[in-house]
Amino acid sequence: MKKIWNIAFIYFWLAMAGGVFYREFTKFNDYSGKTSLGFLHVHLLILGTFLFLILALFCRTLPLLENKRFRRFLTLYNIALPFMALTMLVRGILEVRGTDLSSAQNGMISGFAGISHILMLVSLVMLLLSLKKELLKNE
């Protein structure tokens, strides 16, 4: 449970840093439009902090860390979520700076975002299957 709580705590600080960066970076660049940076804070807070806090509660009653699929979820998810956050950060910085992108560059960033979302999908399916397995054991 401590490991899961520590992961939640790390995502909490990343979410806070993302929120501060969004506020200060847009203010410094006199930017008032919508940008992907505005969603970075919320994504890290919900998909990082809150998810792992809920999982920490599950760990109080279920031996999730002993489940092989859950450990694989942890690894893949902790690759996918920072990867997704990084693509949001890059996209947001480029939006605020008003950087003109070629269609290839724009497609590349969108492709990386798509890959991160696919990895999130796979890892969340792994999470649900591992939770199902553990919950059915205790039935």
pLDDT in tens, 7-58: 999 999 999 999 999 999 999 999 998 999 999 999 999 999 999 999 999 9
Q: Tokens for 90? A: 């890059």
Determine if the pTM surpasses 0.85. Answer: yes
Helix axes 2-28, 51-61, angle to 10 degrees: 170
The pLDDT of residue 138: 63
Burial class (CB in 10 A: 0-12, 13-18, 19+), 119: middle
Rounded CA Rg of the chain = 17
Band of the pLDDT at 1, cuts 50, 70, 90?
A: confident
Distances (CA, A) of 66 to 4, 69, 72, 74: 13, 9, 11, 12
Cα gap 117→80, rounded to integer Å? 7
Pick the more confident residue, 128 or 138: 128
The pLDDT of residue 137: 83
Share of the chain above pLDDT 90, in %: 89
Average pLDDT over residues 51-77: 94
